[in-house]
């Protein structure tokens, strides 16, 4: 009976298991093999050992440029996304009339397709006819060229990312709803101010949610691609050539599939290392108990 039940269970799970092995497991292992080969799709892979990694670290200046760009984006975009997401969730947690309408409005940008969002922001950040510079001119400020200026290109993309914090805001809002009201009542009895309640009750109680969004934000930032590909193509002067974009060009523009696989594995190791550090430190600041 037990064997029959196990067999039945595996038969029901087999489509998912086969799909994972064929479409995830095999490409995962194949990319590892190809990272040690020279491969251009049209010819069979040629084993070159560690040559791809050697070129990557010693002869490709764009590797370090793209890595620096993605680290810059990660260091600024992830903390800003968490800060604005938590602040917005606290504001939208207020019990006022029509609050559901405001929540919907702030959530909408996160469900707009990335391509449509990128095209919209290309118009908003246009240095001549864009809405942002038009508003700045009305206040007597000469706006920068934004995506056309190497000094402002990455901040422009970070600013655009903050605009779409509605997705994480919903998660923070759910975390706020899960905080027991008795904790706030006890804090009020003890004479805690608004800031003290936020600092000693709200923030500690939503640290598991912050931790989740931090991990997902870090992984997503290291894979940042679509907006840069559509809006800048990596320019100007490689200032928005993020790691995933550089990998894409090597694979599909120059057909260096083996080299791109090596880049993918380096990125995989970096993401795993950063995520492991975050998980290692969570015990110091994430509070799961009540």
pLDDT in tens, 73-117: 999 999 999 999 999 999 998 888 888 898 889 898 888 899 999
Contact 231, 121 (CB under 8 A): yes
Cα 256 to Cα 238: distance, rounded to the nearest angstrom: 20
pLDDT at 86: 94
Q: Which of 269, 108, 282 is nearest to 212 (CA)?
A: 282
Q: How far, in Å, are 190, 198, 206, 209, 290 from residue 287 at the CA level?
A: 22, 15, 8, 10, 8
Q: Check: CATH 3.40.50.200 for 53-285?
A: no
**Each residue's pLDDT tens digit, 218-272:** 999 999 999 999 999 999 999 999 999 999 999 999 999 999 999 999 999 999 9
**Each residue's pLDDT tens digit, 265-286:** 999 999 999 999 999 999 899 9
Q: Domain extents for the chain?
A: 53-285
Which DSSP symbol is given to 112? S
Q: How many CB atoms lie within 10 A of CB 178?
A: 12
CA atoms within 13 A on the CB side of 248: 14
What is the rounded end-to-end Cα distance, in angstroms, of the chain?
Answer: 43
Cα 192 to Cα 197: distance, rounded to the nearest angstrom: 6
pTM of this structure: 0.90
């Amino acid at each position: 009976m037990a064997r029959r039940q196990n067999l039945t269970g595996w038969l029901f799970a087999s489509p998912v298991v086969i799909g994972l092995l064929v479409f995830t497991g095999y490409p995962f292992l194949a990319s590892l093999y190809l990272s040690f080969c020279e491969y251009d799709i049209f010819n069979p892979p040629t084993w070159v050992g560690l040559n791809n990694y050697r070129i990557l670290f010693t002869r490709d200046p764009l590797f370090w440029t793209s890595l620096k760009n993605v680290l810059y984006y990660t260091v600024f975009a992830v903390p800003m996304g968490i800060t604005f997401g938590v602040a917005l969730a606290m504001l939208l947690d207020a019990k006022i009339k029509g609050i559901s309408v405001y929540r919907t409005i702030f959530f909408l940008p996160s469900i707009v397709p990335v391509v449509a969002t990128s095209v919209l922001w290309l118009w908003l950040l246009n240095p001549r006819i864009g809405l942002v510079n038009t508003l700045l001119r009305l206040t007597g400020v000469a706006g920068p060229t934004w995506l056309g200026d190497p000094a402002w290109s990455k901040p422009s993309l970070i600013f655009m990312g903050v605009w779409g914090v509605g997705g994480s805001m919903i998660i923070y809002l759910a975390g706020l709803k899960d905080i027991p009201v008795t904790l706030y009542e006890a804090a009020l009895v003890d004479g805690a101010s608004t800031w003290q309640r936020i600092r000693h009750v709200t923030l500690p109680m939503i640290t598991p949610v912050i931790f989740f969004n931090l991990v997902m934000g870090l992984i997503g930032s290291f894979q940042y691609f679509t907006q840069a590909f559509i809006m800048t193509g990596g320019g100007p002067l490689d200032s928005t050539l993020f790691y995933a974009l550089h990998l894409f060009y090597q694979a599909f523009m120059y057909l260096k599939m083996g080299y791109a696989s090596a880049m993918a594995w380096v990125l995989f190791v970096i993401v795993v290392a950063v995520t492991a550090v975050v998980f290692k430190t969570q015990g110091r600041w994430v509070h799961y108990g009540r």
